[in-house]
Structure 1
Amino acid sequence: MKFHTRKWVKPEDLNPNKSLFGGRLLAWIDEEAALYSVVQLENPHVVTKYMSEINFMASAKQGDIVEIGIEVVKFGTTSLVLNCEVRNKMTHETIITVDKITMVNLDENGVPKPHGKTKVEYVRDRIAGQNK
């Protein structure tokens, strides 16, 4: 799994227990899944359709750096299924896992649209392909 994004846990990210608020972490995961999907599918019109069971395994405290990892589980016709792990950057302790996040590719009218992708592509490879 590749960890693409890091977040610094700040006071505004905490719950009354002074640990990372789960809703804040889920918002970070949703944003990361969307950004990853937009890049993979080369379309800014992507939405979250489904998130499977979420497993909180540890907490994070103010000052911790967490990193968000995303990987592709499968490509559907109009969708991309991802899984996610968030871990503490310094200790590598897993904070949360999400087994399946389904992102749907849309057209300009908000209707699911086939994306034609079948494998993970990297931007550097797309750029290299354009320079040939």
Structure 2
Amino acid sequence: MRFLSRRLVMPSDLNYGYSLFGGRVLQWIDEEAAIYVICQLETNCLVTKHIGEISFEAPAMQGDIVEFGLETKQVGNTSITVTCLVRNKVTKKTICLADDIVFVKVDPETRQPVPHGKTLEALKQQTIDEVKTLNL
């Protein structure tokens, strides 16, 4: 799993118990997963079709840095399924796991599903090639 982005938990992200609001985490997960899939499929004509099981494991508090790990699970003809793990950057404790997030490529005019032309193997190779170009 690659951890690709981070967010700082701000006061406006908190619930009545002063921990990170679950709805905010879900918003972030949908956004982060969409960005990941846009980069994987090289298109922004996507819709979120489904988010499967969501498990909240530990709270995040104001000032915590949370990071988002994403992994491609499955690739269909028009769809791609990913998993997103949200964890505390410092403690590495899992905050939330969202499994089976399905995105579908759609035609920009008709909004109907269209093939994306990618395979799981091709996406794995694409990731390897991208990592090689990074200045780490």
TM-score (norm 2): 0.88
Q: Distance in 1 between matches of 2:16 and 2:94?
A: 22
Paired position in structure 1 for 2:11: 11
Taking the aligned partners of 2:20 and 2:94, their CA distance within structure 1 comes to 13
Closer/same/farther in 2, CA of residues 44 and 123 from structure 1, 3 Å limit: farther
Structure 1 36/123 Cα, relative in aligned 2: closer, same or farther at 3 Å?
farther
* Inter-partner Cα distance in structure 2 for 1:91 and 1:4: 17
Unaligned runs of 5+ in 2: none
Q: Which moved more, 1:114-123 or 1:14-23?
A: 114-123
1:102-117 alignment runs, 5 A limit: 102-109=102-109, 110-117=111-118
Map residues 62-73 of structure 1 onto 2, 5 A cutoff.
Answer: 62-73=62-73
Instruction: Summarize the alignment of residues 21-60 of structure 1 with structure 2, pairs less than 5 Å apart.
Output: 21-60=21-60
Whether 1:122 aligns to 2:123 is no
Aligned-partner Cα distance in 1 for 2:60–2:112: 38
Aligned to 1:122, the other structure's residue is in SS state helix
Counterpart of 2:119, as a letter, is T
1:53 deviates by: 1.4
- Which AA in structure 2 matches 1:113? V
- How many residues align structurally? 126
Distance in 2, matches of 1:100 and 1:52, equals 5
Unaligned runs of 5+ in 1: none
Specify the alignment match of 1:77 in structure 2: 77
Percent identity for Structure 1 against Structure 2: 50
Q: Pairwise CA RMSD of aligned residues? A: 1.4
Secondary structure of the residue aligned to 2:32 is helix
1:96-131 deviations in Å (ceiling 9; x for gaps): 111210000111121111001003223954xx7xxx
